[in-house]
Amino acid sequence: MGASGKTMTKDAAAASALGDGGVEAAEEHVEVVRFAAAIDVAKGSGMVCTRVPGSRGDRKRQTVWQVDATYRSVIALMDHLRCEGIQRLVLESTSDYWRCWYYLAEAAGLEVWLVNAKDVKHLPGRGKSDRQDCVWLCKLNERGMLRRSFVPPEAIRDLRALTRTRARLAQDQVRHQSRVEKVLEDALLKISGVISDLFGVSGRRFLDALVAGERSPAALAALGDGRLKASPQRLAEALTGRFRDIHAVEIATHLRLIDAINDEIARLDERIEQQLAAIPGVAPACTACGLIGGGHAPGCVRDRTPVPGLIERLDEITGVGARNAQVLIAELGTDMSVFPAGHAAAWARLTPRTRQSGTTARPGRTGKGRPVPARRARPVRDGRGTYRYPARRDVPADSPPPWQAERHRRGITCYLRNSLAAHRRPRRPVHRPWRGLLQRPQPSPADTLSDSRD
């Protein structure tokens, strides 16, 4: 046998050692940052750590100091880091306090990463302080063991701020509409039960007339649109109640706020359109002549073909309208190269995460979801004679759920059937002759009275 048959490669040896499973070999680019920096962000200050090459090749010069979270101090810090030749600056995402550091580092031309606090979880066994957290974060940055969070460019951030403000205003509008319905219920009016949209054309007429002082159910029912399915008699019955002046004051207040919110949403829609037009890649552009704006240059081969923009192309997706398309651009941006293959859907929490261990594979959960509530244990009695609830870590995982959770899980009908079973099927009393022998004899009332008289 030749030399090639006698020798065995490392992969073949590992495959024979692992059996039929084989060896999964892959090459990965490992990036080591020689000039690294990290900032542990707090509200009023930040702890900065830099690690640069030292006097020898196997040494690192580490510097840790504190910087105030003011504009001038952060600007001076970024100039110092740029002079140090920092290749990458890492920030821990702490509330909204990271924005000052990130925006000014981005403006200074530094490569700045925002990392999730879960990826920088403090390991047990070491002290917990801002200085130690900053050093640990810088070491992770130096060894390339962090994942970068997606922070869109400034134009997309401005668009995101506008769309999120519009969403908050829409939530406030719904909140005021719900309060109007509560006022009508307090006035014993059932308008929302006979018309589908209380704040439509007919519903708004009813509300305005009630605020103006109209109390006649027949006159109010006559204000309804002819396209309503409810008859005038049913409308008059629903508009009969005890509507008082205090109800008119409350509804008028909420209607003014709803109208003001509608005006602000309309202004935001116009501002969002202007912001979208200023973002490169959103406006329609011809692929043949390169003209932006939906038209074509003279002599273009696609002269009469309309050019759809990014909003129109997203609008072609089933279930995605123009407003949802604006939200998609504001949340994901226009450059999909920042997401690896399939990671955009995972970042949007639309794909379940992998949960596999050994031969067990469980499906993950999509979206944020609700955390699984911890089972509440029964109170236990400690040595001091008081009752307390054990901590979550003290509750055994296999403990049965309380009767409240059992009732909601199995249904109230099953719970009532089980609780009333003793009343439907009375049990025969069990004869226990030894019970009287174990009890201590009690003195009779006559004996007690005779003792008290003596």
> 260-297, pLDDT tens digit by residue?
999 999 999 999 988 888 887 676 666 555 555 555 55
Cα–Cα distance, 295 to 308 (Å, whole number):
10
> Is the per-residue pLDDT at 454 higher than 50?
no
Q: How far apart are CA 413 and CA 388, in angstroms?
A: 32
Q: Considering Cα of 281, then 282, then 286, then 292, what sign does the dihedral take?
A: negative
pLDDT digits (tens, 9 = 90+) for 391-450: 444 444 444 445 444 444 444 444 444 444 444 455 566 556 555 555 555 555 555 444
* pLDDT tens per residue, range 125-159: 666 787 888 888 888 888 888 888 888 888 888 89
The per-residue pLDDT for range 45-54, each reduced to its tens digit, is 888 999 988 8
Residue 453's pLDDT band, with cuts at 50, 70 and 90, is: very low
Structure tokens at 99: 């924005």
CA distance 44 to 244: 52
pLDDT at 2: 44
How many angstroms from the chain centroid is the CA of residue 439? 63
Cβ neighbours of residue 437 closer than 8 Å, sequence gap 6 or more: none
200-236 residue pLDDT tens: 888 899 999 999 988 888 898 888 888 888 888 888 8
Residue 121 has pLDDT above 90, yes or no: no
Work out the pLDDT band at 368, boundaries 50, 70, 90: low
- Lowest mean pLDDT, pick from 40-44, 183-187, 360-364: 360-364
Q: Which carries the bigger pLDDT value, residue 431 or residue 329?
A: 329
Mean pLDDT for all residues in the chain: 75
| 59 confidence band (pLDDT: 50, 70, 90) | confident
Report the candidate in 26, 68, 31 with the shortest Cα–Cα distance to residue 48: 68
Helix (H, G, I), strand (E, B) or coil at 407: helix
pLDDT tens-digit series, residues 189-202: 888 888 888 888 88
Please tell me the number of Cα atoms within 13 Å of 46 on its side-chain side: 27
Q: Residue ranges of the domains in the chain? A: 36-142, 157-278
> Inter-axis angle of helices 245-278 and 154-186, to 10 degrees?
160
User: Who has greater pLDDT, 320 or 366?
Assistant: 320
**Overall pTM > 0.75:** no
Domain 36-142, CATH: 3.30.420.10
Phi-psi region of 54 (alpha: psi -120 to 50; beta: other; left: phi over 0): beta
Angle, CA of 427, 431 and 433, to the nearest 5°? 160
Q: What gap in Å lies between CA 385 and CA 393, rounded to an integer? A: 22
In the predicted model, what is the mean pLDDT of residues 365-386? 50
String of DSSP letters for 203-252: HHHHHHHHHHT---HHHHHTTS-TT-SS-HHHHHHHT-S---HHHHHHHH
Predicted confidence (pLDDT) at residue 259 exceeds the cutoff of 90: yes
**What sign results for the dihedral spanned by CA atoms 156, 161, 163, 167?**
positive
Q: How far apart are CA 146 and CA 90, in angstroms?
A: 9
What pLDDT was estimated at residue 8? Answer: 47
Of residues 124 and 103, which shows the higher confidence score? 103
- At 298 the pLDDT is 55
At how many degrees (to 10) do helices 403-410 and 412-419 cross?
120
Mean pLDDT of 327-334: 84
The model's pLDDT over 2-12, given as tens digits with 9 standing for 90+, comes to 444 444 444 55
Q: What is the pLDDT of residue 148?
A: 83
Q: Please tell me the distance from the alpha carbon of residue 391 to that of residue 139, in angstroms, as a whole number.
A: 35
Total residue count of the chain as it appears in this document? 454
- Greater confidence (177 vs 399) lies with 177
pLDDT score for 445: 52
303-312, 313-322, 362-371: least confident range: 362-371
Residue 251's pLDDT is: 93
pLDDT at 367: 61
395: which 2 tokens?
Answer: 């509750």
* List of residues 6+ apart from 251 with CB closer than 8 A: 180, 183, 184, 207, 210, 211
Who has greater pLDDT, 34 or 350?
Answer: 34
64-95 pLDDT, tens digit per residue, is 999 998 999 999 999 999 988 898 899 888 88
What is the predicted pLDDT for the residue at 430?
Answer: 57
Q: Is the pLDDT of residue 166 over 90?
A: yes
CB burial readout 364-398, b (16+ within 10 A) else e:
eeeeeeeeeeeeebeeeeeeeeeeeeeeeeeeeee
